[in-house]
A and B are shown apart, each in its own frame.
Chain A
């Protein structure tokens, strides 16, 4: 109801595309062949090497590696921190998106640049940057280096843009008049938020949360300098994989990597399902 034109465009989208898209011409077929060969060399073959190395080791090796106390502690820490970070992003990301879309103030364009800094900044620099403010030489006297708070901070830094950037365009399409209408009809601010904003934004927030979770469980670079990689305490899953690689234990490295791949794949499928449900609406 909010924007009939938008839903109409969306509904027409596929039809229009179906008219525009054609069957492969011979030249396009050659192009597709080249693209697929390069994609296989770069992405598909190496990733299947990880999966096949895991299956060669068998279920027993996989399970044994995952349940090894230090690895299991790393997995638990990573997933737990990723969930915490994702929840924080859901709250603050939505808030930031709202301010970027609905608020007007001097310097808002600067804020747009700042939001994307964690995407563009090299991860190792991100770690160093946080260490400068929250490390041993902190100018404000807060030293969380080598603690679980450091892990949380690093993951929060690198995942900040996801929810903001998925919610922002949806909020931009959403007419502020609907919110005003609800309020003029006597709805409280909380009711307006719950009945108008949340249902409209929920799919975008979920998509952003999935991306942020996938990124958080796979993070490595920003944690290297900041978390100290203390076994059983601040060591995350990617660091465990790296240790296995350095010790030449490829079967174990592949096992943990496959677990991460599985979770990433799950996040992608979930995203696809969500975005299709939104398109249908």
Chain B
């Protein structure tokens, strides 16, 4: 037992030191560096005109991307779990693709498809007055691309677990499709949905590589908050860079805390759902026999 305890304590120590050096210490330095010249400088850096504009743009883009991904995510998740159609497996695999594609490749792909002069559809879109690349729509698309699977990955397992009994009961009692969706499905996937939305929001606020390419990084027009961080740092305005970073990091950590506080309930309900599924599936298996 003593040996066990020794292994336990040494593993715990190694893990804590490792994570401390790799994550905790560096991240905590952002706060220190952001306020190194006092709270006044910190506020000045953030309220500077172009920086304030960049944060505003980031927020608008993130909200659009999250709304699009949530609507699309719910739709795709229900289709993938509740219906069979040719190519379902392929679609399910392709949905995860954006998580493995380099942000730079995402930017390049959008540029090649929607670029104003050489893109496939860019010139035609510009003739009808829609500019995608080097404008807000392009930034929204790049952001939506990289955070696309996050909502879906949260909802699909929960939809699979809860099964269709309640939905079928509601339908047999005379509820129409929309009522069933609003009264049964949405409440059942509520927490998974919140979880997915918070993760998407965190991801959307912080996208850098893809946005850098499609936005053109025009100060005061298409420059987002993450691009401000890069520019300030490279112009030797370190405190300003750390001030913007602090806000972005605080938003990310806050999102994580929200998600972690929600998660236990979510996990519990998922595991109990699993247990009920396991017990109820015994009689259904006997049915045909």
Min distance, Cβ B265 to any Cβ of chain A, angstroms? 14
Contact status B160-A17, CB under 8 Å: yes
Residues in chain B near residue A264, CB distance under 8 A: 97, 100-102
CB-contact partner of B111 in A105, A117, A129, A245, under 8 A:
A245
Stretch from B14-22, B42-50, B184-192 at the A interface: B14-22
Contact status B108-A225, CB under 8 Å: no
The answer to the question of A185 belonging to the interface, with a C-beta cut-off of 8 Å to chain B, is: no
By beta carbon, the residue of chain A nearest B114 is: A46
| Most chain A Cβ neighbours within 10 Å, of B97, B259, B285 | B97
The answer to the question of B245 belonging to the interface, with a C-beta cut-off of 8 Å to chain A, is: yes
Residues in chain A near residue B120, CB distance under 8 A: 45, 49
Contact status B112-A218, CB under 8 Å: no
Residues in chain A near residue B259, CB distance under 8 A: 116
Q: How far is the CA of A238 from the CA of B25 in the complex (A)?
A: 28
Contact status B72-A35, CB under 8 Å: yes
Residues in chain B near residue A130, CB distance under 8 A: 26
Residues in chain A near residue B14, CB distance under 8 A: 95
Residues in chain A near residue B18, CB distance under 8 A: 92, 96
The answer to the question of A60 belonging to the interface, with a C-beta cut-off of 8 Å to chain B, is: no
Contact status B249-A121, CB under 8 Å: yes
Within B38-92, the residues touching A (CB, 8 Å) are 72, 75-76, 78-79, 81-85, 91
The answer to the question of A87 belonging to the interface, with a C-beta cut-off of 8 Å to chain B, is: no
The answer to the question of A31 belonging to the interface, with a C-beta cut-off of 8 Å to chain B, is: yes
Q: How far is the CA of A98 from the CA of B4 in the complex (A)?
A: 13
The answer to the question of B289 belonging to the interface, with a C-beta cut-off of 8 Å to chain A, is: no
Q: How many residues on chain A are close to B (CB under 8 Å)? A: 96
Q: How far is the CA of A217 from the CA of B103 in the complex (A)?
A: 11
Residues in chain B near residue A237, CB distance under 8 A: 102
Contact status B278-A132, CB under 8 Å: no
Contact status A133-B26, CB under 8 Å: yes
Count, A-B residue pairs, CB within 8 A: 283
Residues in chain B near residue A8, CB distance under 8 A: 278
Within A169-227, the residues touching B (CB, 8 Å) are 189, 211, 214-215, 217-221, 224-225
By beta carbon, the residue of chain A nearest B145 is: A42
CB-contact partner of A115 in B12, B19, B255, under 8 A:
B19
Q: How far is the CA of A24 from the CA of B266 in the complex (A)?
A: 30
Chain A 102-140 interface 0/1 with B at a Cβ cutoff of 8 Å (1 = within)? 110100010111111111111111001110111000010
Min distance, Cβ A116 to any Cβ of chain B, angstroms? 5
Residues in chain A near residue B108, CB distance under 8 A: 50, 241, 245, 250, 253-254, 257
Min distance, Cβ A4 to any Cβ of chain B, angstroms? 11
Min distance, Cβ B199 to any Cβ of chain A, angstroms? 8
Within B2-33, the residues touching A (CB, 8 Å) are 3-4, 7-8, 11-12, 14-16, 18-19, 21-27, 29-30, 32-33
The answer to the question of A32 belonging to the interface, with a C-beta cut-off of 8 Å to chain B, is: yes
Residues in chain A near residue B212, CB distance under 8 A: 242
Q: How far is the CA of A16 from the CA of B164 in the complex (A)?
A: 10
Residues in chain A near residue B237, CB distance under 8 A: none
| Most chain A Cβ neighbours within 10 Å, of B97, B100, B245 | B100
The answer to the question of B110 belonging to the interface, with a C-beta cut-off of 8 Å to chain A, is: yes
By beta carbon, the residue of chain A nearest B92 is: A272
Residues in chain A near residue B23, CB distance under 8 A: 114, 117-118, 157, 160
Q: What are 9 A-B pairs at a CB distance below 8 A?
A: A28-B82, A46-B110, A109-B260, A125-B229, A128-B245, A219-B102, A224-B208, A225-B230, A238-B209
Chain A residues engaging chain B, CB cutoff 8 angstroms: 5, 8-9, 12-13, 15-17, 19-25, 27-28, 31-32, 34-36, 38-39, 42-47, 49-50, 53, 92, 95-96, 98-99, 102-103, 105, 109, 111-125, 128-130, 132-134, 139, 153, 156-157, 160, 189, 211, 214-215, 217-221, 224-225, 237-239, 241-242, 245, 250, 253-254, 257, 260-261, 264-265, 267-268, 272
Interface pairs A-B: 10 shortest CB-CB = A122-B206, A218-B102, A46-B109, A132-B29, A49-B112, A264-B100, A120-B252, A221-B208, A46-B113, A220-B209
A95-B15, A218-B101, A220-B103 known; 10 new pairs, CB 8 Å cut-off, are A9-B274, A9-B278, A23-B85, A120-B256, A121-B253, A122-B245, A123-B206, A153-B22, A220-B104, A264-B97
